[in-house]
Amino acid sequence: MSAAGGYDAHELHGFAHDSIVRGSKSFALASQLFDRLTRERVWLLYAWCRAADDLTDGQDHGGAAAAGHDAKAAVAHIHALTDRAYAGEPTGEPAFDALGLLLTEIAIPRAVIDDIIAGFELDADDWRPRSEADLLRYCYHVAGAVGVAMALVMGIDPADERTLDRAADLGIAFQLANIARDVAEDAAADRCYLPVDWLVELDIPPGQHMHPRYRGRLSVMAKWLAEMAGEYEASARWGARKLPPRSRWAVLAAMGIYGDIAREVRRRGDHAWDHRTVTSFVAKLGWVARAGWSVLRRPPLRRIDRDGLWTRPRS
């Protein structure tokens, strides 16, 4: 089955499905709740994001980075292939052709995709946040902008800036949970996404945050991250009211599943990094059921304001 631009839609949908199953069991499960057309489009966008992230890190759906990897050259390659996808030129690389196919069906402003690529550039530069605002800017570029693109795929009007802000909030909440969970793994890879200002405030020497003597202070930062994730998740939950019912079901399920990561890291305290925090399959199914029931009920009437939350830049 072919599509506009000479892309093989059947082959690319299969590739994208395999990518999300390999890359994220949670997102793969939640994606099954979309209607078929939206589900396939979500897979296409995920495949591009996953491949670009792996290219930047020199990985294949996670794992160890390739020896001698040149991250900056990889980002330049991402730019070049994304240019071709936007020009409607097949690249021969499935993940970028997945984006090209998606763009024949959905108008995603290039500025949104460039915001995502800016996150890869930050990682390629071994960037580290100095302040809380830096942290939130990073979370936006690596995940919040993906939330904006996903909202457009789900049918949100590109002119609906307020709802797109809420979509960005969901990605930010997910990334804050990731950072809290992955502190030890990031440290092992010589990365740290904890703001320098926070480390100074808690009197933790640079590069020493994983030392056992600082574990109690580190758990305080995990609590801060979890609380922030909860605030952005609440904002996103309000914004999800604008989505079609099946898309709202999928998003609310993913929100609960990922929110559990931040909540569990906070609950564990000093033991948060003894082993990787995951959400069990039974718990995931519980969130699928709860999200479905939530969609069947009337949306909450009490508005959740965004007062005090970081707001994405306008293109």
Residues of the chain with CATH 1.10.600.10: 109-315
Q: Is the pLDDT of residue 63 over 80?
A: no
Q: How confident is residue 304, by pLDDT bands cut at 50, 70 and 90?
A: confident
pLDDT of residue 274: 85
Identity at 266, one-letter amino acid code: R
Q: How confident is residue 305, by pLDDT bands cut at 50, 70 and 90?
A: confident
Averaged pLDDT score across all residues of the chain: 91
pLDDT of residue 197: 96
Q: How confident is residue 220, by pLDDT bands cut at 50, 70 and 90?
A: very high
4-8, long-range: CB within 8 Å, 24+ apart, which pairs? 4/104, 5/88, 5/90, 5/100, 5/101, 5/104, 6/90, 7/90, 7/97, 7/100, 7/101, 7/104
What is d(CA 48, CA 117) in angstroms, rounded to the nearest whole number? 11
Q: In the chain, pLDDT over 90 holds for what percent of residues?
A: 76
Q: Is the pLDDT of residue 3 over 60?
A: no
Q: Is 310 left (phi over 0), alpha (psi -120 to 50) or beta?
A: beta
pLDDT of residue 1: 43
Q: What is the pTM of this model?
A: 0.92
Tokens of 44: 């296409």
Mean pLDDT score, 12-20: 95
Tokens of 176: 């804050």
Q: How confident is residue 67, by pLDDT bands cut at 50, 70 and 90?
A: low
Residue 291: name the closest of 260, 252, 247, 236 by CA: 252
Match domain 109-315 to its CATH number in 3.30.565.10, 3.50.50.60, 1.10.600.10, 1.10.10.10.
1.10.600.10
Mean pLDDT score, 187-194: 90
Q: Is the pLDDT of residue 275 over 90?
A: no
pLDDT digits (tens, 9 = 90+) for 125-141: 999 999 999 999 999 99
pLDDT digits (tens, 9 = 90+) for 256-271: 998 999 999 999 988 8
pLDDT of residue 294: 86
pLDDT of residue 66: 64
pLDDT of residue 64: 58
pLDDT of residue 206: 83
Q: How confident is residue 315, by pLDDT bands cut at 50, 70 and 90?
A: low
* Span of 1-5, 38-42, 276-280 with lowest mean pLDDT: 1-5
Mean pLDDT score, 169-193: 93
Q: Is the pLDDT of residue 299 over 90?
A: no
